[in-house]
Amino acid sequence: MMGAREWPALTAQAAQEQLCAPGALFEFTVQQINGAPVRVWKNGPQILPDLLEAAKAHGDRDFMVLNDERVSFDAFRRATAHLAEALLARGVEPGDRVAIAMRNLPEFPIAYFAITAIGAIVVPLNAWWTGPELDYAIRDSGARTLICDAARWQVLAGQAIACDALVCRATPGAAPERLEDLIGAPNDWATLSPRPLPEIHIAPDDPATLFYTSGTTGKPKGALGTHRSSMSNVLSTAYAGAFAALRRGEPVPEPEPRASLLPIPLFHVTACNARMLSSVHVGHKTVLMDKWDPLEALQLIEREQITHTGGVPAIAWSLIEHPRRKEFDLSSLTGVAYGGAPAAPELVRLIAEDLNCEPGTGWGMTETSGTVTRHDGEDYLNRPDSCGPPVPVAELKIMSLDGETELPAGQSGELWARGPMVVREYWNRPDATAETFKEGWVRTGDVARLDEEGFCYIVDRAKDVIIRGGENIYPVEIENRLYEHAAIVDAAVAAIPHRTLGEEPAALVTLASGAQADEAELQAFVREALASFKTPVLVHIHDGPLPRNASGKILKTEVRRILAELAATRASA
């Protein structure tokens, strides 16, 4: 893993210049996209069907593994071509929307690539949604066809679905039409006849994806991405590994297949664009999990010789703290990475020292199709409160909260991002589009700062800032302090109302297994490091993990509701 040699061997700027030099793999240029100058990768695959052609080179190597199902890259390529033909035969045309609603199944990448191979727009839907929520997105997107699993079809029972449906893993007669009747079951795909992809002209900036935002406040919005915005993740992921190697004085590693354990949902941009697309490009094996179970994960890491896993910080904690971890051979594991939530500096250290793995994180959002910053290895160990520098094709700037003034390094303001990964617009939401997207930049809604080397530090969500008697309090600052306490594995801070001050901070925390701490102790711990007005007036020990959405982000609306109820109960006592 990480060596003991002097670090860093190269400055961040020197490492990027070497990797992005003329003629190098990560060379980039500037193009006008929607009237704005945007850095774009000069090399690498440009449209999603390019990845399908790359899959041919991986042959019979495992692509997707789920329980006793093993799908090779060749079988994946065959099934995708067959489904693409079937969708065309059903009347799906370029620009049409086709929705996917299913848990992590091998059918997901087949549907994703078949849809985009014919120039249609794939609409991955949150498999945790209720029937009305799924129906809302189907209608909002104007989906012509829905491809779903049997469980989602049951969830949709009673909804007047406004499109036709193909259902996988349903018993005969339980659905109007089964996907298996068109392409067979996963273990049959290797026997399908090889076919070329349909000849459809697709350009890099044609629309390809419609991912719906997390919907932590209000109804979700569809973020319309392009082939280029999705594909930017392929070289961004490869660049991160090369950058970390140069920083520690090692040669840039040759791309080589690895085995990844994927417990996070494919309907989210991180798993889909940043993980799945890179796996197709390089030839990684992806082992799927329906839901996170740390004991099952330990068994899979040993059995499948998993090299990389992660998703959200809670996954890493549960591996480290599992009482049976020492029973399993985890020597194949070399990297644990996550995003979607801040992590305690202690977790970063434990990944390196306890698991002997390279820790990694990054930052992105639905509106950026995935990766904008990456933070790996020694860089992450030395800056555990940062989400890393932007990848070379991304640009970051910090603006005043009114959006009028760019701020210098070290000052906190709203984070704006620009690059080929930024989506085109919100679907059928011109007002929201005009408010969020400005001349190629996306206003992220995150409060952040940049240091002198360009490393980004997320301070908080702009809408989550607590204003106590005129003083701005950033919850992440308090959460980071709470994470430093040995007993805490999860923490969320939000505002509760106050009659005269307006708002005050309160905290919801989860303790490590067997650990003990009470409210007074945790309040004193915060007060030792932060101004007294930042000390939570209420600290509640939560039983179980904190409420999160499918992408791993803490649901602050739910946290606020829980804390408000607790505050009201305490006030009336």
Per DSSP, helices labelled H in 248-366 are 269, 277-282, 294-304, 313-321, 345-353
Tell me, what's the pLDDT at 145? Answer: 97
Element (H, E) at 40: strand 36-41
Q: How many Cα atoms are found within 13 Å in the side-chain-facing hemisphere of 475?
A: 27
Burial of 95 per CB tally in 10 Å (0-12, 13-18, 19+)? exposed
Tell me, what's the pLDDT at 536? Answer: 96
Reference 67, options 304, 230, 259; nearest CA is 304
Reference 569, options 496, 469, 493, 485; nearest CA is 496
Give φ, ψ of 535 to 5 degrees. Answer: -70, 125
DSSP line for 100-130: EE-SS-THHHHHHHHHHHTT-EEEE--TT--
Question: Residue 570 contacts by C-beta under 8 Å, 6 or more apart in sequence?
Answer: 538
pLDDT one digit per residue (tens) for the chain, 573 residues: 554 457 899 999 999 999 999 999 999 999 999 899 999 999 989 999 999 988 889 999 999 999 999 999 999 999 999 999 999 999 999 999 999 999 999 999 999 999 999 999 999 998 988 898 899 999 999 999 999 999 999 999 988 888 999 999 999 888 889 999 999 999 999 999 999 999 999 999 999 999 998 654 457 899 999 999 999 999 999 999 999 999 999 999 888 889 999 998 999 999 999 999 999 999 999 999 988 899 999 999 999 999 999 987 878 888 998 999 999 999 999 999 988 666 778 889 999 999 999 999 999 999 999 999 999 999 999 999 999 999 999 999 999 988 999 999 999 999 999 999 999 999 999 999 999 999 999 999 999 999 999 999 988 777 788 878 767 788 888 998 999 999 999 999 999 988 767 789 999 999 998 899 999 999 999 999 887 889 999 999 999 889 987 667 788 889 999 999 999 999 887
Tell me, what's the pLDDT at 2? Answer: 53
Tell me, what's the pLDDT at 417? Answer: 98
State how far the Cα of 133 lies from the Cα of 130, in Å rounded to an integer: 5
Task: Please report, rounded to a whole number, the percentage of residues in the chain having pLDDT higher than 70.
Answer: 97
Buried b (16+ CB within 10 A) or exposed e, 248-277: beeebeeeeebbbbbbbbbbbbbbbbbbbb
Tell me, what's the pLDDT at 6? Answer: 77
Structure tokens at 470: 């005129």
Give φ, ψ of 228 to 5 degrees. Answer: -65, -40
Tell me, what's the pLDDT at 303? Answer: 98
Strands 413-418 and 441-450: antiparallel
